[in-house]
Amino acid sequence: MTLSITHARTEPQDDQDDVDWLSVWPVSTRPAPHGDLTVAGVALTEIAERFGTPAYVLDEGEVRRRCQEYRRAFPDADVLYAAKAFLCRAMASWVEEECLGLDVCSAGELELAVIAGFPPERIVLHGNAKSPQDLAAALRLGVGRIVVDSAGEIARLAANVPAGARQQVMVRVVPGLAAGSHAALRTGTEDQKFGLSITDGSAQHAVARILEQPRLELVGLHCHLGSQITTVKPYLLAVRRMVGLMARIRDQHGVTLPQLDLGGGHAVAYRPGEDAPDIAALGARIRAELAASCLTASLPEPRLAIEPGRAIVGPAGVALYRVLAVKHTGRHTFVAVDGGMSDNPRPALYGVRYAPRLIGRPATTTTLTATVVGRHCEAGDVIAADVQLPGDTRPGDLIAVPVAGAYHLSMASGYNLVGRPPVVAVLDGRARLLVRRESLADIRNRDVGL
């Protein structure tokens, strides 16, 4: 990573971001001697020494705390963890033990969860283009619900349900609402790849076709508005539109659907001062709107489902990097680290901004405005632009990046063949390896030769 200098200040790092810098770190984070930090009682420098860098640190207690927060906020709902944010066998086990369901998008995610002992009946399968292997695995393993995302999927799915069985399905509906922090994250609008539109009648047509299939049981509607949504208003509008569609289905087909899935997309703060919804307040407002909308439509309240992913695991993660080089070029200073877009493509994809912090030694009295960059052969390989770091940042220093639990390892690539980082869980003063580092041997063994 690189620092870009625009100006220097004579303030220590701990003073310039003073009281709220810890707001985006796991709750268990504590300052430690010599500029170190501990998470769940484990020093981050110790993790870097034991497991190397780059590395992801995942606070198990923080994951569980956030699962419990959702269960309290949505006490009568199905809370489904969105596995695409991050999945490993330990994560599936934690989620299952906290009584959440699971939302998966592929046969790979599904089979890993089932191998870890996750009950398949508490799993929902998503995907705008499910492969034959995805559908076969879902039916073979007995997933609870499959979300239909296109009209062509209906016949393919029905043809593969065993004779005498019925598969519960939902229809993913496009409610025509724009929500989310970036155009690439908005999935509730018209003319994008997900779901079936209310406006052009595609959703209603899919409902009618499913009701004609004796091997499919339509149990509800699903929508997902996008990601990094900071306010409750889009969810309230989605409730009204979805309940309105459920009322029309009742009137046209005589069917009262018992379930409504509102997806996820709840924002988290990546930097101090950024907005994120209060989950308790979000739950109260959504549940109140659902009750009011159903009363107006003379419908019984369907069982609600939600699918948080990032909001559960994102703030529980910390990425650790080692500084490899510091380069001054004109008005900028670049601090290059030993990871980058192969372990976190999100800044390049969505322009997300982080709050990295130097750890492992006391901060100096001078800070720089800097850009932390990765080691990869792309000009867009930037981890954090225009951030404050100590003026004497140098090779060998450790940089820690909070809110690194979601969409880092799950979106990691093999670019430049550097290998994907390990995941280390921390709890009660102990660290243990969950996912080992991808080695050169792993990369070599996949290549079968000439």
Asked if the model's pLDDT at residue 301 lies above 50, the reply is yes
Q: 312 and 63 in contact (C-beta within 8 Å)?
A: yes
Q: What is the DSSP letter of 27?
A: T
Residue with tokens 């971001």: 17
**Over the Cα atoms of the chain, what is R_g?**
23
State pLDDT tens for residues 242-283: 999 999 999 999 999 999 999 999 999 999 999 899 999 999
Q: 302 and 246 in contact (C-beta within 8 Å)?
A: yes
d(Cα 302, Cα 284) in Å, to the nearest integer?
16
Q: 149 and 130 in contact (C-beta within 8 Å)?
A: yes
> b/e per residue, 226-255, with b = 16+ CB within 10 A?
bbbbbebebbbbbbbbbbbbbbebeeeeee
Beta strands in 223-331 (DSSP E): 259-261, 303-306, 317-329
Tell me which residue of 39, 79, 35 sits closest to 59, measured CA to CA. Answer: 39
> b/e per residue, 39-52, with b = 16+ CB within 10 A?
bbebbbbebbeebe
Mean pLDDT, to the nearest integer, of 406-416? 94
Asked if the model's pLDDT at residue 6 lies above 60, the reply is no
d(Cα 329, Cα 6) in Å, to the nearest integer?
11
pTM of structure: 0.92
Q: Which amino acid is at 142?
A: G
Catalytic residue ranges: 377
Q: 246 and 198 in contact (C-beta within 8 Å)?
A: no
State pLDDT tens for residues 315-361: 999 999 999 999 998 888 999 999 999 999 999 888 888 999 999 99
Q: In order of start, what are the domains of the chain with their CATH numbers?
A: 8-59+315-446 (2.40.37.10), 61-313 (3.20.20.10)
Asked if the model's pLDDT at residue 180 lies above 90, the reply is no
